[in-house]
Amino acid sequence: MQRYFVAQEQMSDHKVTITGEDVKHIGRVMRMEPGDEIVCSDGHLRTVRCEISLVEESLIEARIVEELVPNTELPVYVTIAQGLPKGDKLELIVQKGTELGAFAFLPFSAARSIVKWDHKKAGKKIERLTKIAKEAAEQSYRERIPNIYDIHSLAELRNQISSFDAVIIAYEESAKSGEKMKLAEILQSLSVSQSVLVIIGPEGGLTTTEVEQLTEEGAILCGFGPRILRTETAPLYALAAISYHFELMR
Amino acid sequence: MQRYFVAQEQMSDHKVTITGEDVKHIGRVMRMEPGDEIVCSDGHLRTVRCEISLVEESLIEARIVEELVPNTELPVYVTIAQGLPKGDKLELIVQKGTELGAFAFLPFSAARSIVKWDHKKAGKKIERLTKIAKEAAEQSYRERIPNIYDIHSLAELRNQISSFDAVIIAYEESAKSGEKMKLAEILQSLSVSQSVLVIIGPEGGLTTTEVEQLTEEGAILCGFGPRILRTETAPLYALAAISYHFELMR
Protein backbone atom coordinates (compact mmCIF):
# COMPACT_ATOMS: atom_id res chain seq x y z
CA MET A 1 0.00 0.00 0.00
CA GLN A 2 1.24 3.50 -0.84
CA ARG A 3 2.72 5.36 2.16
CA TYR A 4 2.93 9.08 2.91
CA PHE A 5 4.38 11.20 5.68
CA VAL A 6 2.26 14.07 6.99
CA ALA A 7 2.89 16.66 9.69
CA GLN A 8 1.55 15.83 13.16
CA GLU A 9 -1.09 18.55 12.92
CA GLN A 10 -2.44 16.99 9.70
CA MET A 11 -3.46 13.87 11.59
CA SER A 12 -6.40 14.14 14.00
CA ASP A 13 -8.07 11.34 15.94
CA HIS A 14 -10.16 10.21 12.99
CA LYS A 15 -8.90 12.00 9.91
CA VAL A 16 -5.76 12.75 7.88
CA THR A 17 -5.58 15.92 5.77
CA ILE A 18 -3.04 15.86 2.97
CA THR A 19 -1.72 19.00 1.28
CA GLY A 20 1.29 19.97 -0.84
CA GLU A 21 3.18 17.70 -3.27
CA ASP A 22 1.59 14.49 -2.05
CA VAL A 23 -1.84 15.65 -3.27
CA LYS A 24 -0.54 15.57 -6.83
CA HIS A 25 1.09 12.19 -6.26
CA ILE A 26 -2.06 10.60 -4.85
CA GLY A 27 -4.50 12.22 -7.26
CA ARG A 28 -2.63 12.51 -10.54
CA VAL A 29 0.24 10.01 -10.41
CA MET A 30 -1.49 7.19 -8.53
CA ARG A 31 -4.98 8.23 -9.78
CA MET A 32 -6.56 7.33 -6.45
CA GLU A 33 -10.18 8.07 -5.67
CA PRO A 34 -12.48 8.12 -2.65
CA GLY A 35 -12.59 4.59 -1.26
CA ASP A 36 -8.93 3.80 -2.03
CA GLU A 37 -6.64 3.13 0.92
CA ILE A 38 -3.25 4.57 1.86
CA VAL A 39 -0.95 4.43 4.88
CA CYS A 40 0.08 7.67 6.58
CA SER A 41 2.78 8.31 9.21
CA ASP A 42 3.08 11.49 11.25
CA GLY A 43 6.85 11.03 11.59
CA HIS A 44 6.45 10.64 15.36
CA LEU A 45 5.68 6.92 15.43
CA ARG A 46 1.96 7.20 14.70
CA THR A 47 1.09 5.26 11.55
CA VAL A 48 -2.45 4.72 10.31
CA ARG A 49 -4.26 2.95 7.51
CA CYS A 50 -6.90 5.23 6.05
CA GLU A 51 -9.53 5.44 3.34
CA ILE A 52 -9.61 8.43 1.04
CA SER A 53 -12.89 10.35 1.48
CA LEU A 54 -12.25 13.53 -0.51
CA VAL A 55 -10.00 14.36 -3.47
CA GLU A 56 -9.70 18.03 -4.41
CA GLU A 57 -7.20 20.00 -6.50
CA SER A 58 -5.00 20.91 -3.54
CA LEU A 59 -6.33 18.84 -0.67
CA ILE A 60 -7.08 15.22 0.10
CA GLU A 61 -8.89 13.92 3.15
CA ALA A 62 -8.80 10.36 4.42
CA ARG A 63 -10.71 8.66 7.22
CA ILE A 64 -8.54 6.67 9.65
CA VAL A 65 -9.51 2.99 9.53
CA GLU A 66 -6.80 1.39 11.68
CA GLU A 67 -3.89 2.39 13.91
CA LEU A 68 -0.84 0.40 12.76
CA VAL A 69 2.25 -0.72 14.69
CA PRO A 70 4.78 -1.22 11.92
CA ASN A 71 7.76 -1.35 14.28
CA THR A 72 10.25 -0.59 11.55
CA GLU A 73 12.54 1.77 13.46
CA LEU A 74 16.00 0.61 14.56
CA PRO A 75 15.98 0.02 18.34
CA VAL A 76 19.02 2.29 18.76
CA TYR A 77 19.23 5.83 17.41
CA VAL A 78 22.06 6.00 14.89
CA THR A 79 23.29 9.38 13.68
CA ILE A 80 25.71 9.31 10.75
CA ALA A 81 28.26 12.14 10.92
CA GLN A 82 29.64 12.20 7.40
CA GLY A 83 32.71 14.15 6.31
CA LEU A 84 31.51 15.95 3.16
CA PRO A 85 32.23 13.59 0.24
CA LYS A 86 32.60 14.42 -3.44
CA GLY A 87 29.83 14.57 -6.04
CA ASP A 88 26.43 13.16 -5.19
CA LYS A 89 27.69 10.56 -2.73
CA LEU A 90 25.88 12.22 0.17
CA GLU A 91 22.60 11.61 -1.69
CA LEU A 92 23.43 7.92 -1.96
CA ILE A 93 24.34 7.82 1.73
CA VAL A 94 21.09 9.50 2.78
CA GLN A 95 18.93 7.32 0.52
CA LYS A 96 20.52 3.99 1.49
CA GLY A 97 21.13 5.05 5.09
CA THR A 98 17.44 5.90 5.48
CA GLU A 99 16.46 2.47 4.15
CA LEU A 100 18.89 0.95 6.63
CA GLY A 101 17.33 2.81 9.55
CA ALA A 102 19.50 5.87 10.30
CA PHE A 103 17.97 8.29 12.81
CA ALA A 104 19.76 11.38 11.49
CA PHE A 105 22.55 12.59 9.22
CA LEU A 106 25.07 15.22 10.23
CA PRO A 107 27.31 16.42 7.39
CA PHE A 108 30.57 18.01 8.51
CA SER A 109 33.43 19.86 6.82
CA ALA A 110 36.48 17.67 7.30
CA ALA A 111 40.04 18.80 6.65
CA ARG A 112 40.24 16.57 3.57
CA SER A 113 36.75 17.42 2.26
CA ILE A 114 37.27 18.76 -1.23
CA VAL A 115 33.71 19.99 -1.52
CA LYS A 116 32.79 23.14 0.41
CA TRP A 117 29.26 24.28 1.15
CA ASP A 118 28.67 27.99 1.44
CA HIS A 119 25.58 29.18 3.29
CA LYS A 120 23.37 29.45 0.19
CA LYS A 121 24.44 26.12 -1.26
CA ALA A 122 24.00 24.39 2.10
CA GLY A 123 20.34 25.38 2.32
CA LYS A 124 19.54 23.92 -1.09
CA LYS A 125 21.57 20.79 -0.47
CA ILE A 126 19.82 20.10 2.82
CA GLU A 127 16.43 20.70 1.24
CA ARG A 128 17.25 18.16 -1.46
CA LEU A 129 18.63 15.62 1.04
CA THR A 130 15.50 16.00 3.18
CA LYS A 131 13.36 15.19 0.14
CA ILE A 132 15.48 12.10 -0.58
CA ALA A 133 15.17 11.01 3.06
CA LYS A 134 11.38 11.44 2.96
CA GLU A 135 11.03 9.36 -0.21
CA ALA A 136 13.37 6.64 1.08
CA ALA A 137 11.51 6.57 4.41
CA GLU A 138 8.18 6.10 2.61
CA GLN A 139 9.59 3.42 0.31
CA SER A 140 11.20 1.45 3.15
CA TYR A 141 8.15 1.65 5.48
CA ARG A 142 9.91 3.80 8.06
CA GLU A 143 7.86 5.49 10.77
CA ARG A 144 9.94 8.64 10.82
CA ILE A 145 11.98 10.70 8.39
CA PRO A 146 15.63 11.01 9.42
CA ASN A 147 16.67 14.52 10.30
CA ILE A 148 19.33 16.18 8.12
CA TYR A 149 21.39 18.54 10.25
CA ASP A 150 23.02 21.71 8.99
CA ILE A 151 26.65 21.45 8.03
CA HIS A 152 28.93 21.27 11.10
CA SER A 153 32.54 22.25 11.57
CA LEU A 154 34.81 19.80 13.37
CA ALA A 155 34.56 21.95 16.51
CA GLU A 156 30.76 21.81 16.34
CA LEU A 157 30.90 18.05 15.80
CA ARG A 158 33.16 17.70 18.85
CA ASN A 159 30.60 19.61 20.91
CA GLN A 160 27.94 17.06 19.96
CA ILE A 161 29.89 14.05 21.19
CA SER A 162 28.89 14.22 24.86
CA SER A 163 25.18 14.09 23.97
CA PHE A 164 25.46 10.52 22.58
CA ASP A 165 25.65 7.27 24.55
CA ALA A 166 28.41 6.00 22.26
CA VAL A 167 30.55 7.55 19.54
CA ILE A 168 32.32 5.45 16.92
CA ILE A 169 34.90 6.57 14.36
CA ALA A 170 35.16 4.37 11.27
CA TYR A 171 38.93 4.25 11.01
CA GLU A 172 40.88 2.95 8.04
CA GLU A 173 44.05 2.44 10.08
CA SER A 174 42.08 0.26 12.50
CA ALA A 175 40.96 -1.85 9.56
CA LYS A 176 44.53 -2.12 8.23
CA SER A 177 46.00 -3.06 11.59
CA GLY A 178 43.41 -5.81 12.03
CA GLU A 179 41.45 -4.19 14.88
CA LYS A 180 38.20 -6.09 14.98
CA MET A 181 36.68 -6.22 18.43
CA LYS A 182 35.66 -2.65 19.14
CA LEU A 183 32.48 -2.34 17.09
CA ALA A 184 30.99 -5.55 18.49
CA GLU A 185 32.05 -4.53 22.02
CA ILE A 186 30.35 -1.16 21.72
CA LEU A 187 27.14 -2.62 20.25
CA GLN A 188 27.09 -5.21 23.04
CA SER A 189 27.27 -2.41 25.61
CA LEU A 190 24.35 -0.44 24.11
CA SER A 191 20.75 -0.86 25.24
CA VAL A 192 17.53 -0.27 23.36
CA SER A 193 16.71 3.46 22.91
CA GLN A 194 20.30 4.55 23.41
CA SER A 195 22.01 6.75 20.84
CA VAL A 196 25.15 6.23 18.81
CA LEU A 197 27.06 8.64 16.61
CA VAL A 198 29.05 7.09 13.76
CA ILE A 199 31.74 9.43 12.41
CA ILE A 200 33.06 8.80 8.90
CA GLY A 201 35.82 10.72 7.16
CA PRO A 202 35.61 11.99 3.57
CA GLU A 203 37.67 10.50 0.72
CA GLY A 204 41.23 10.32 2.05
CA GLY A 205 39.97 9.84 5.59
CA LEU A 206 40.23 11.92 8.74
CA THR A 207 43.57 13.55 9.54
CA THR A 208 45.57 12.49 12.61
CA THR A 209 44.70 15.82 14.24
CA GLU A 210 40.98 15.31 13.64
CA VAL A 211 41.16 11.79 15.05
CA GLU A 212 42.96 13.08 18.15
CA GLN A 213 40.45 15.87 18.68
CA LEU A 214 37.53 13.45 18.40
CA THR A 215 38.99 10.68 20.56
CA GLU A 216 39.86 13.27 23.24
CA GLU A 217 36.12 13.86 23.56
CA GLY A 218 35.43 10.15 23.91
CA ALA A 219 34.98 8.84 20.36
CA ILE A 220 36.30 5.31 19.85
CA LEU A 221 38.22 4.09 16.79
CA CYS A 222 36.71 1.03 15.14
CA GLY A 223 37.60 -1.17 12.19
CA PHE A 224 34.68 -2.21 9.95
CA GLY A 225 36.33 -5.42 8.78
CA PRO A 226 39.75 -5.84 7.11
CA ARG A 227 38.86 -4.35 3.72
CA ILE A 228 39.24 -0.64 3.03
CA LEU A 229 35.75 0.77 2.45
CA ARG A 230 34.99 3.86 0.41
CA THR A 231 33.60 6.80 2.40
CA GLU A 232 30.04 6.14 1.16
CA THR A 233 30.20 2.41 1.94
CA ALA A 234 31.27 2.77 5.59
CA PRO A 235 27.96 4.26 6.89
CA LEU A 236 26.00 1.49 5.14
CA TYR A 237 28.23 -1.13 6.75
CA ALA A 238 27.69 0.42 10.18
CA LEU A 239 23.90 0.56 9.80
CA ALA A 240 23.61 -3.00 8.45
CA ALA A 241 25.84 -4.34 11.25
CA ILE A 242 23.76 -2.46 13.85
CA SER A 243 20.53 -3.79 12.32
CA TYR A 244 21.90 -7.34 12.29
CA HIS A 245 23.06 -7.01 15.89
CA PHE A 246 19.88 -5.48 17.35
CA GLU A 247 17.14 -6.72 15.03
CA LEU A 248 18.16 -10.17 13.79
CA MET A 249 20.44 -11.67 16.42
CA ARG A 250 18.08 -11.12 19.33
CA MET B 1 50.65 1.93 -1.42
CA GLN B 2 49.16 1.47 -4.91
CA ARG B 3 47.84 -2.06 -5.56
CA TYR B 4 47.48 -4.03 -8.78
CA PHE B 5 46.17 -7.42 -9.76
CA VAL B 6 48.22 -9.49 -12.17
CA ALA B 7 47.68 -12.94 -13.67
CA GLN B 8 49.32 -15.84 -11.84
CA GLU B 9 51.79 -16.39 -14.66
CA GLN B 10 52.97 -12.77 -14.35
CA MET B 11 54.29 -13.44 -10.86
CA SER B 12 57.37 -15.63 -10.54
CA ASP B 13 59.33 -16.41 -7.38
CA HIS B 14 61.25 -13.14 -7.44
CA LYS B 15 59.64 -10.91 -10.04
CA VAL B 16 56.33 -9.44 -11.21
CA THR B 17 55.82 -8.53 -14.87
CA ILE B 18 53.07 -6.01 -15.55
CA THR B 19 51.48 -5.57 -18.97
CA GLY B 20 48.28 -4.07 -20.39
CA GLU B 21 46.34 -1.13 -18.94
CA ASP B 22 48.17 -1.10 -15.62
CA VAL B 23 51.43 -0.14 -17.34
CA LYS B 24 49.86 3.17 -18.37
CA HIS B 25 48.44 3.66 -14.89
CA ILE B 26 51.76 3.05 -13.15
CA GLY B 27 53.94 4.91 -15.63
CA ARG B 28 51.79 7.79 -16.87
CA VAL B 29 49.07 8.33 -14.28
CA MET B 30 51.08 7.61 -11.12
CA ARG B 31 54.39 8.62 -12.76
CA MET B 32 56.26 5.89 -10.93
CA GLU B 33 59.89 5.13 -11.64
CA PRO B 34 62.41 2.39 -10.85
CA GLY B 35 62.82 2.30 -7.06
CA ASP B 36 59.14 3.07 -6.32
CA GLU B 37 57.16 0.39 -4.53
CA ILE B 38 53.78 -1.17 -5.33
CA VAL B 39 51.73 -4.09 -4.03
CA CYS B 40 50.67 -6.85 -6.43
CA SER B 41 48.18 -9.68 -5.97
CA ASP B 42 47.86 -12.68 -8.26
CA GLY B 43 44.16 -13.05 -7.45
CA HIS B 44 44.87 -16.44 -5.86
CA LEU B 45 45.82 -15.23 -2.39
CA ARG B 46 49.46 -14.43 -3.16
CA THR B 47 50.17 -10.76 -2.43
CA VAL B 48 53.64 -9.22 -2.61
CA ARG B 49 55.30 -5.87 -2.01
CA CYS B 50 57.70 -5.12 -4.83
CA GLU B 51 60.09 -2.49 -6.12
CA ILE B 52 59.83 -1.33 -9.70
CA SER B 53 63.02 -2.20 -11.57
CA LEU B 54 62.09 -1.45 -15.19
CA VAL B 55 59.58 0.93 -16.79
CA GLU B 56 59.03 0.55 -20.55
CA GLU B 57 56.29 1.72 -22.90
CA SER B 58 54.27 -1.49 -22.63
CA LEU B 59 55.92 -3.42 -19.81
CA ILE B 60 56.92 -2.89 -16.20
CA GLU B 61 59.03 -5.22 -14.11
CA ALA B 62 59.22 -5.21 -10.33
CA ARG B 63 61.42 -7.17 -7.93
CA ILE B 64 59.56 -8.91 -5.10
CA VAL B 65 60.69 -7.49 -1.75
CA GLU B 66 58.24 -9.12 0.65
CA GLU B 67 55.47 -11.74 0.67
CA LEU B 68 52.44 -10.17 2.40
CA VAL B 69 49.58 -11.80 4.31
CA PRO B 70 46.86 -9.15 4.06
CA ASN B 71 44.08 -11.50 5.14
CA THR B 72 41.35 -9.33 3.71
CA GLU B 73 39.07 -12.02 2.28
CA LEU B 74 35.76 -12.84 3.97
CA PRO B 75 36.09 -16.20 5.77
CA VAL B 76 32.98 -17.53 4.00
CA TYR B 77 32.48 -17.44 0.23
CA VAL B 78 29.47 -15.27 -0.57
CA THR B 79 27.99 -15.31 -4.06
CA ILE B 80 25.37 -12.65 -4.78
CA ALA B 81 22.70 -13.89 -7.21
CA GLN B 82 21.08 -10.66 -8.34
CA GLY B 83 17.84 -10.45 -10.31
CA LEU B 84 18.71 -8.02 -13.12
CA PRO B 85 17.92 -4.51 -11.81
CA LYS B 86 17.23 -1.34 -13.78
CA GLY B 87 19.79 1.18 -14.99
CA ASP B 88 23.32 1.03 -13.64
CA LYS B 89 22.38 -0.48 -10.29
CA LEU B 90 24.31 -3.67 -11.01
CA GLU B 91 27.47 -1.56 -11.29
CA LEU B 92 26.80 -0.11 -7.84
CA ILE B 93 26.16 -3.60 -6.46
CA VAL B 94 29.40 -4.98 -7.92
CA GLN B 95 31.49 -2.03 -6.77
CA LYS B 96 30.15 -1.90 -3.20
CA GLY B 97 29.73 -5.68 -2.96
CA THR B 98 33.40 -6.13 -3.89
CA GLU B 99 34.46 -3.69 -1.18
CA LEU B 100 32.29 -5.63 1.26
CA GLY B 101 33.96 -8.93 0.36
CA ALA B 102 31.70 -10.77 -2.14
CA PHE B 103 33.28 -13.86 -3.68
CA ALA B 104 31.25 -13.74 -6.91
CA PHE B 105 28.24 -12.14 -8.60
CA LEU B 106 25.67 -14.10 -10.56
CA PRO B 107 23.18 -11.95 -12.48
CA PHE B 108 19.93 -13.69 -13.36
CA SER B 109 16.86 -12.86 -15.47
CA ALA B 110 13.98 -12.74 -13.03
CA ALA B 111 10.33 -12.69 -14.06
CA ARG B 112 10.02 -9.05 -12.96
CA SER B 113 13.36 -7.92 -14.44
CA ILE B 114 12.52 -5.10 -16.83
CA VAL B 115 16.00 -5.07 -18.32
CA LYS B 116 16.88 -7.88 -20.72
CA TRP B 117 20.39 -8.80 -21.79
CA ASP B 118 20.82 -10.27 -25.24
CA HIS B 119 23.95 -12.26 -25.97
CA LYS B 120 25.94 -9.34 -27.40
CA LYS B 121 24.94 -6.90 -24.67
CA ALA B 122 25.71 -9.46 -21.96
CA GLY B 123 29.32 -9.82 -23.08
CA LYS B 124 29.94 -6.07 -22.90
CA LYS B 125 28.12 -5.73 -19.59
CA ILE B 126 30.13 -8.50 -17.98
CA GLU B 127 33.36 -7.05 -19.30
CA ARG B 128 32.49 -3.69 -17.75
CA LEU B 129 31.41 -5.27 -14.44
CA THR B 130 34.67 -7.26 -14.31
CA LYS B 131 36.62 -4.03 -14.69
CA ILE B 132 34.61 -2.41 -11.88
CA ALA B 133 35.24 -5.46 -9.67
CA LYS B 134 38.98 -5.32 -10.36
CA GLU B 135 39.22 -1.62 -9.48
CA ALA B 136 37.12 -2.04 -6.34
CA ALA B 137 39.21 -5.06 -5.30
CA GLU B 138 42.41 -3.03 -5.68
CA GLN B 139 40.99 -0.05 -3.83
CA SER B 140 39.68 -2.13 -0.92
CA TYR B 141 42.87 -4.25 -0.55
CA ARG B 142 41.19 -7.48 -1.59
CA GLU B 143 43.34 -10.50 -2.43
CA ARG B 144 41.12 -11.71 -5.24
CA ILE B 145 38.82 -10.21 -7.84
CA PRO B 146 35.23 -11.46 -7.53
CA ASN B 147 34.08 -13.52 -10.48
CA ILE B 148 31.20 -12.15 -12.57
CA TYR B 149 29.17 -15.05 -13.93
CA ASP B 150 27.30 -14.99 -17.22
CA ILE B 151 23.62 -14.19 -17.04
CA HIS B 152 21.58 -17.14 -15.70
CA SER B 153 17.97 -18.09 -16.22
CA LEU B 154 15.97 -19.08 -13.15
CA ALA B 155 16.32 -22.74 -14.16
CA GLU B 156 20.11 -22.35 -14.35
CA LEU B 157 20.12 -20.59 -10.98
CA ARG B 158 18.11 -23.46 -9.48
CA ASN B 159 20.71 -25.90 -10.78
CA GLN B 160 23.42 -24.03 -8.88
CA ILE B 161 21.71 -24.29 -5.50
CA SER B 162 22.97 -27.73 -4.52
CA SER B 163 26.60 -26.66 -4.96
CA PHE B 164 26.40 -24.20 -2.03
CA ASP B 165 26.52 -24.97 1.69
CA ALA B 166 23.67 -22.53 2.32
CA VAL B 167 21.27 -20.59 0.11
CA ILE B 168 19.42 -17.52 1.34
CA ILE B 169 16.62 -15.60 -0.37
CA ALA B 170 16.24 -11.97 0.71
CA TYR B 171 12.49 -11.87 0.98
CA GLU B 172 10.39 -8.74 1.38
CA GLU B 173 7.42 -10.65 2.75
CA SER B 174 9.66 -12.11 5.46
CA ALA B 175 10.68 -8.57 6.41
CA LYS B 176 7.04 -7.41 6.48
CA SER B 177 5.87 -10.33 8.59
CA GLY B 178 8.61 -9.69 11.12
CA GLU B 179 10.69 -12.83 10.41
CA LYS B 180 14.02 -12.13 12.01
CA MET B 181 15.77 -15.25 13.14
CA LYS B 182 16.67 -17.07 9.94
CA LEU B 183 19.68 -15.09 8.75
CA ALA B 184 21.42 -15.26 12.13
CA GLU B 185 20.56 -18.97 12.41
CA ILE B 186 22.07 -19.72 9.01
CA LEU B 187 25.22 -17.70 9.69
CA GLN B 188 25.60 -19.45 13.03
CA SER B 189 25.47 -22.81 11.25
CA LEU B 190 28.17 -21.91 8.70
CA SER B 191 31.87 -22.66 9.22
CA VAL B 192 34.91 -20.93 7.81
CA SER B 193 35.50 -21.69 4.10
CA GLN B 194 31.90 -22.72 3.48
CA SER B 195 29.91 -21.13 0.70
CA VAL B 196 26.66 -19.20 0.73
CA LEU B 197 24.48 -18.02 -2.13
CA VAL B 198 22.37 -14.92 -1.46
CA ILE B 199 19.47 -14.56 -3.92
CA ILE B 200 17.94 -11.11 -4.39
CA GLY B 201 14.97 -10.27 -6.59
CA PRO B 202 14.86 -7.28 -8.97
CA GLU B 203 12.67 -4.21 -8.36
CA GLY B 204 9.23 -5.57 -7.52
CA GLY B 205 10.77 -8.70 -5.99
CA LEU B 206 10.63 -12.37 -6.89
CA THR B 207 7.27 -13.83 -7.91
CA THR B 208 5.56 -16.46 -5.76
CA THR B 209 6.38 -19.06 -8.42
CA GLU B 210 10.07 -18.15 -8.40
CA VAL B 211 10.16 -18.31 -4.61
CA GLU B 212 8.52 -21.75 -4.68
CA GLN B 213 10.94 -23.05 -7.32
CA LEU B 214 13.94 -21.83 -5.32
CA THR B 215 12.78 -23.02 -1.90
CA GLU B 216 11.97 -26.46 -3.39
CA GLU B 217 15.69 -26.76 -4.11
CA GLY B 218 16.60 -25.83 -0.54
CA ALA B 219 16.85 -22.03 -0.53
CA ILE B 220 15.68 -20.43 2.73
CA LEU B 221 13.60 -17.24 3.00
CA CYS B 222 15.15 -14.57 5.24
CA GLY B 223 14.17 -11.11 6.39
CA PHE B 224 16.96 -8.51 6.43
CA GLY B 225 15.39 -6.42 9.19
CA PRO B 226 11.90 -4.87 9.28
CA ARG B 227 12.46 -2.14 6.69
CA ILE B 228 11.85 -2.74 3.00
CA LEU B 229 15.21 -2.49 1.23
CA ARG B 230 15.66 -1.56 -2.40
CA THR B 231 17.05 -4.34 -4.61
CA GLU B 232 20.53 -2.79 -4.65
CA THR B 233 20.62 -2.28 -0.87
CA ALA B 234 19.81 -5.89 0.07
CA PRO B 235 23.12 -7.44 -1.14
CA LEU B 236 25.08 -4.78 0.74
CA TYR B 237 23.10 -5.53 3.91
CA ALA B 238 23.81 -9.26 3.54
CA LEU B 239 27.54 -8.75 3.01
CA ALA B 240 27.92 -6.27 5.89
CA ALA B 241 25.98 -8.57 8.24
CA ILE B 242 28.14 -11.54 7.19
CA SER B 243 31.31 -9.50 7.69
CA TYR B 244 30.12 -8.35 11.13
CA HIS B 245 29.20 -11.91 12.09
CA PHE B 246 32.40 -13.63 10.91
CA GLU B 247 35.02 -10.89 11.12
CA LEU B 248 34.10 -8.62 14.02
CA MET B 249 32.07 -10.71 16.46
CA ARG B 250 34.64 -13.50 16.78
- The dihedral built from the CA positions of residue A28, A32, A33 and A38, taken in this order, carries a sign that is negative
CATH superfamily name and code, A3-68: Hypothetical PUA domain-like; domain 1 (2.40.240.20)
Residue of B135, B173, B182, B244 to mutate when probing chain A, most A C-beta within 10 A: B244
pLDDT, position B120? 84
pLDDT, position A40? 96
Give the helix ranges, DSSP H, for B77-227.
89-99, 119-139, 154-160, 172-176, 182-189, 208-216
- Per-chain mean pLDDT for chain A: 95
What percentage of chain A carries pLDDT values higher than 70? 100
Please say whether the beta carbons of B83 and B207 come within 8 A.
no
The DSSP result for A101-119, as a single string, is T-SEEEEE--TT------H
Min CA distance, B78 vs chain A (Å)? 15
pLDDT, position A173? 84
- A48 forms beta bridges with A40, A67
Q: What is the mean pLDDT of residues A138-142?
A: 95
Q: What is the mean pLDDT of residues A70-83?
A: 95
The residues of chain B that CATH labels 3.40.1280.10 are 77-248
pLDDT, position A119? 80
pLDDT, position A240? 98
The DSSP result for A130-192, as a single string, is HHHHHHHHHHTT-SSPPEEPPPB-HHHHHHHGGGSSEEEEE-HHHHHTT--SHHHHHHHH--T
pLDDT, position B40? 96
- The dihedral built from the CA positions of residue B21, B23, B28 and B31, taken in this order, carries a sign that is positive
Look at A3-7, A67-71, A228-232, B159-163 and tell me which has the smallest mean pLDDT: A67-71
- pLDDT band (50, 70, 90) for residue A172: confident
- pLDDT band (50, 70, 90) for residue A250: confident
Under an 8 A CB cutoff, do A227 and B184 touch?
no
Is the minimum CB–CB distance between B24 and chain A shorter than 8 Å? no
Is the minimum CB–CB distance between A86 and chain B shorter than 8 Å? no
Residues in chain B, pLDDT under 50: none
| Nearest Cα residue to A43 out of A80, A9, A1 | A9
Residues of B within 8 A of A234 (CB-CB) are none
In this predicted structure, the answer to whether residue A75 has a pLDDT above a threshold of 90 is yes
The single-letter code of the amino acid at B77 is Y
Residues of B within 8 A of A141 (CB-CB) are 176, 226-228
Give A185-197 pLDDT, tens digit per residue.
999 999 999 999 9
pLDDT, position B233? 98
User: ∠ at Cα A141 (A138, A147), nearest 5°?
Assistant: 60
Please say whether the beta carbons of B42 and B12 come within 8 A.
no
pLDDT, position A66? 96
Under an 8 A CB cutoff, do B240 and A245 touch?
no
Q: Rounded to the nearest 5°, which phi and psi values hold at A141?
A: 65, 35
CATH no., domain A77-248:
3.40.1280.10
The residues of chain A that CATH labels 2.40.240.20 are 3-68
Please say whether the beta carbons of B70 and B116 come within 8 A.
no
Instruction: Indicate the DSSP class of residue B204.
Output: T
Could you report the predicted ipTM of this complex, rounded to two decimals? 0.93
